[in-house]
Chains A and B, each alone.
Chain A
Amino acid sequence: MTATLNPTDRFTALFEREKSRLPGAGIAWLAQARAEALAAFEAQGLPHTRFEGWRHTPARVLTETDFVPAERPAARGGHAGKILCPVTFHRVLVYNGRVQPNGEGSVYGEIPKGVQVSSLADALRDAPEALKAALTRGFSTDGMPFAALASALFCDGIVVRVARHVRLDKPLNVLYVSDDSASGRPQMTHLRALVLLEDGASAEIVTESVGGGRAPFWMNILTQIELGEGASLKHYRLQRENASGVQTAGTFVEVGRAARYESHAFNFGGALARHDLRVRLAGEGAECALNGLALVRGEEIVDHHTAVEHAAAGGTTRELYKAVLDERGRFVFDGLVDVRPGAQQTDASVYNKNLLLSEDADVHTNPEFKILADDVSCKHGGAIGQLSAESMFYLRSRGIGESEARRMLVYAFGSEMIERVGLEPLKEALTAALHARMPEAAEEAAR
């Protein structure tokens, strides 16, 4: 009978079937939160091209594929050579949506005192009340049906908690690996992550997603970040699914007084990557820096929707997303800064710059401000360009061949975002990854 259900109803049926087996199933407040989230998903339904915020982002791969909840992968460990994150970092491995125990792919035994890193499923088993406030916090998932879905269906995820004035000594790598199950069917996993930094705490978190299988794999993750007064989080997100990989990620960030959230999003592959990032600068003097670099080619689609709410005075936003588009790639950028009444001395800039290497690629860019305060400095801009003919000639006139010259210029365009990465070993790995994703196909097309 499943075949006759519309796609939204399929998820409802799945929820009814699975809810008694999901983590924390016996906890009344969680059951209610999951049910409310499912209702919020049902009210919106799956996105289509007339869906606000999804007009330029075809989601057919999601609505037309019959995904089943991910199972144990048929083979293990095929990802070892693909990981960008250095092994010297703390690591939590999430394999097909299940957090692997410490010592079994995960290595976080030496976490300092005052820092908690655990699987969300384990935390719900061991001390659910400590998570109640975060997991029942109300926030609007309007325009983010998949965030609502993750909130309803999550099967695991991670919890990171850093106590007052404690600094996480080394970066924490949260590594998401997906691979085919024995059945070889398209799989999905719904995850939820909580990152809670108390006053004055600081951490660096590198999430990296890597796809290994042949069948489509959809990872849907809802991340909730709360930064106390003066806290600081550097959040690196390396999205590197394979050609059949799909990722939908919703991230909510609450930034306290004089706290700072820094995000670096790198998209290096995948059929569809949709990121919704909503930041609320809640306390006076809160800051966020949102950086992004997407290398899009083939038929890939990368979509970043960011919204920063300046809810208090003296907040700062620095936002720059760049994309390099090749072949038939598509990039969508929507960057809203919403300055609320009373958020005086807001200082915000939102820029999106795109480099088109192919006539068939396309970009939709929409940096935007809503300003309800009068003493603010706000700048925004969107640019779409091609490789400069002048620069190409300059390089060639020095003996540098055409394809090498193109590579140098594309690299130069993207490297600005890598330069902003504070972690030296990660910077090196990203540089290598950028070189490896250079546009050979574009060179062919240019001839």
Chain B
Amino acid sequence: MLKITDLHAKIGDKVILKGLSLHVKPGEIHAIMGPNGSGKSTLSYVLAGRDGYEVTSGSALYQGQDLLTMAPEVRAREGVFLAFQYPVEIPGVSNKYFLKAAYNALRKHRGEPEMDAGVFLKFIKEKAKLVEMDPAFLNRSVNEGFSGGEKKRNEILQMAVLEPKLALLDETDSGLDIDALKIVAGGINKLRDPKRSVVLVTHYQRLLDYIVPDFVHVLSGGRIVKSGGKDLALQLEKEGYGWIEAEKAAA
């Protein structure tokens, strides 16, 4: 599904990713953990195609294709989805209209006809139930005036509508209280599928109590320095990141 090899990337003169490699197979859930400033968000943005990041070497293949040369919208239409750490507010664009534009762009890309407005409305109302979202939010401007939890739920709603093959969830747990976290995690779990891969980027282990990963990787200094199973996350929770840094320094 996703094969990242020796990826180097920088913003301006600041080198952030320094030889990152990661291999994600269909249906797998990978958690990427790491201290602040280790390059977690940069990895998400580089994969989603945000401007301002320069890949200096290495590659990222998505379903065998070069992901890094695709425009952001093409990546999305091909099935890559980034749930933002800080979802953007767009006053004046209704959530419903936004979802419809995104969904129809996807259908067009696949050579399918646009979905009729009435049918689409039923479709998204069903999806809104997944994240326990009040349908009134569909008529509001995208994320405008939403609470932190509502914004994150809205991200998962978009994911449910677009049904990506590869979902990158960037700090989806940040800023959530425990109830909101459960709802968001519940939504993600309902979207688990043997053909859908998920990369969870997170600072804390607690999200992994609700979404159990197949693999846990520690990102530090722009590279993955340690990989393991879900137990690794528990160890990190208990002992922090210091011991890995020490291990790395010793090596």
Contact = CB atoms under 8 A, between A and B. Distances in A.
A408 interface: yes
Contacts of A405: 73
A393 B72 contact: yes
Contacts of B90: 391, 394-395, 408-409, 412
Interface in A396-438: 396-402, 404-405, 408-409, 411-413, 415-416
A130 B172 CA distance: 71
Interface in B47-87: 48-51, 71-73, 75-77, 81-82, 84, 87
Contact of A401 (B82, B88, B105): B105
B158 interface: yes
B93 interface: yes
Nearest to A390: B88
Given A393-B50, A398-B76, A400-B102, A412 B82 contact: no
A1 interface: no
B120 interface: no
A411 B49 CA distance: 25
Interface size range on B against A: 20 to 34
Nearest to B78: A399
Contacts of B88: 388, 390-391, 393-394
B101 A412 contact: no
A400 to B, nearest CB: 5
B98 interface: yes
Given A394-B88, A409-B90, A404 B105 contact: yes
B95 to A, nearest CB: 12
B51 A402 contact: no
Nearest to B74: A399
A389 B53 CA distance: 14
Interface centre among A396, A404, A405, A412 (most CB of B within 10 A): A396
Nearest to A414: B92
Interface centre among A390, A395, A405 (most CB of B within 10 A): A395
A395 B92 CA distance: 13
A172 B40 CA distance: 61
Nearest to B77: A399
B162 interface: yes
A394 B87 contact: yes
A397 B93 contact: no
Interface residues of A, number: 23
Interface of A is mostly: helix
B23 interface: no
A408 to B, nearest CB: 6
A388 B75 CA distance: 21
A397 B92 contact: no
Nearest to B159: A398
Interface in B97-148: 97-98, 101-102, 105-106, 109, 141
B158 to A, nearest CB: 6
B93 A399 contact: no
B229 interface: no
A404 B101 contact: yes
B92 A412 contact: yes
A398 B158 contact: yes
A390 B142 CA distance: 13
Nearest to A411: B92
Contact of A399 (B50, B51, B91, B162): B162
B143 to A, nearest CB: 9
Nearest to B106: A399
A397 B101 contact: no
B101 A408 contact: yes
Nearest to A402: B73
Given A412-B91, A412-B92, A412-B93, A397 B51 contact: no
Interface centre among A388, A389, A393, A399 (most CB of B within 10 A): A399
B153 to A, nearest CB: 16
Contacts of A404: 101, 105
Given A408-B101, A412-B91, A412-B93, A396 B84 contact: no
B130 to A, nearest CB: 17
A402 B76 contact: no
A394 B88 CA distance: 7
Contact of B72 (A397, A412, A413): A397
Cβ-closest 4 pairs across A and B: A412-B92, A399-B76, A398-B102, A394-B88
Interface of A: 388-391, 393-402, 404-405, 408-409, 411-413, 415-416
Interface of B: 48-51, 71-73, 75-77, 81-82, 84, 87-88, 90-93, 97-98, 101-102, 105-106, 109, 141, 158, 162
20 contacts: A393-B51, A393-B72, A394-B88, A395-B90, A396-B49, A396-B72, A396-B76, A397-B49, A398-B73, A398-B101, A399-B105, A399-B109, A400-B102, A401-B73, A401-B105, A408-B90, A408-B101, A412-B92, A412-B93, A412-B141
Given A388-B88, A397-B81, A412-B93, 17 more contacts: A389-B51, A393-B88, A394-B84, A394-B88, A396-B76, A397-B72, A397-B75, A397-B82, A398-B73, A398-B76, A398-B105, A400-B101, A400-B102, A401-B105, A409-B90, A412-B91, A413-B92
